[in-house]
Amino acid sequence: MFSFIKGFLDGFSGFGLLFKPGIKRFVLIPFIINVALFSFATKLLGEQLGIWVDKLLPSWLGWLEWLIWPLFALAALLIVFYSFTVVANLISAPFNSILSSRIEAMLTGKKPEDINSDGFIKLIYRTTKSELQKILYAIKWFIPLIIITFIPVINIISPFLWIIFAAWFFALEYNDYPLANRGDYFSEVQTYNRKHRMCSLGLGSAVFVLTSIPVINFFAMPVAVAGATKLITKTNHIK
């Protein structure tokens, strides 16, 4: 539990790191991308949420609607926000990687590496490849989760499964930036998260909370990158 709380608090600590001298300018692009995509996601949820939940809710459980409706609404919110988070991170990956390296340099006192045009192209290739690997990983779990969501009776537990999966994937997503900057591949990121399971779930849960709160979710991506970088740096996972 201590490790979980530690990861959770580190996730929120990203707010303070983003406004340190020399960091703010690296937050701008991820922030703009996040605002654009989450604004669209919020609009989509506002228009469709009630329709989706009514279709998912079994008619014979109508007498429990007061209890089950919020759970299905949470599941729908998770699916939409999670999907848009994947897209946002795919677009922002190179900029998130740079943000992570600058925050780590600030935390450790080391001078960050300068990235020229050739280096940035290589960074785009590496981060895009990593994001696609994470998307494939997500799809592997998305399919059974969506199936469970549409199976009557069993789908009552689906919101809880989505929450656990979202927290775990958010940990994989954001721990990847500082670890990849050290040369780790996605398989090594998974190994790190399994080794530090509760700490990673704490970080992922913090990101889940940030992503679920309107307006605050605009800042979720850069805050999560900063928080994950602090967490990885503190564990001294340095090659």
Per-residue confidence (pLDDT) for residue 81, from 0 to 100: 65
Greatest alpha-carbon span in the chain: 63
The verdict on residue 210 lying in a domain is yes
Per-residue confidence (pLDDT) for residue 200, from 0 to 100: 93
The verdict on residue 160 lying in a domain is yes
Q: Tens of pLDDT along the chain (239 residues)?
A: 788 999 999 889 888 888 887 787 788 877 888 778 777 776 766 666 666 556 656 565 555 555 555 666 666 666 666 677 777 777 878 888 888 888 988 888 776 565 555 666 777 777 878 888 888 888 888 888 888 877 777 777 877 888 888 899 999 989 998 988 888 888 899 999 999 999 999 999 999 888 878 778 788 888 999 999 999 987 754 44
Whole-angstrom distance, CA of residue 152 vs CA of residue 150 = 6
Tokens of 141: 């779990």
Whole-angstrom distance, CA of residue 3 vs CA of residue 89 = 26
The verdict on residue 179 lying in a domain is yes
Do the Cβ atoms of 195 and 69 come closer than 8 Å? no
Q: How many CA atoms lie within 13 A of 79 on its CB side?
A: 23
Do the Cβ atoms of 203 and 235 come closer than 8 Å? no
The verdict on residue 159 lying in a domain is yes
Q: Give the rounded percent of residues in the chain with a pLDDT score beyond 70.
A: 77
Number of domains into which the chain is organized: 1
The verdict on residue 184 lying in a domain is yes
Do the Cβ atoms of 218 and 24 come closer than 8 Å? no
Summarize pLDDT for 155-167 with one digit per residue, the tens. Answer: 778 778 888 888 9
Q: Can you list the alpha helix ranges (DSSP code H) found in the chain? A: 2-17, 28-56, 65-108, 117-149, 158-181, 186-195, 197-212, 220-234
Task: Report which DSSP code applies to 237.
Answer: -
The verdict on residue 195 lying in a domain is yes
pTM equals 0.75
Domain hosting residue 33, numbered range: 2-234
**Residue 187 class from Cβ within 10 Å (0-12 exposed, 13-18 middle, 19+ buried)?**
exposed
The verdict on residue 239 lying in a domain is no
Average pLDDT, the chain: 79
Do the Cβ atoms of 13 and 223 come closer than 8 Å? no
CB neighbourhood size of 155 (10 A): 20
Amino acid at 22: G
Do the Cβ atoms of 138 and 85 come closer than 8 Å? no
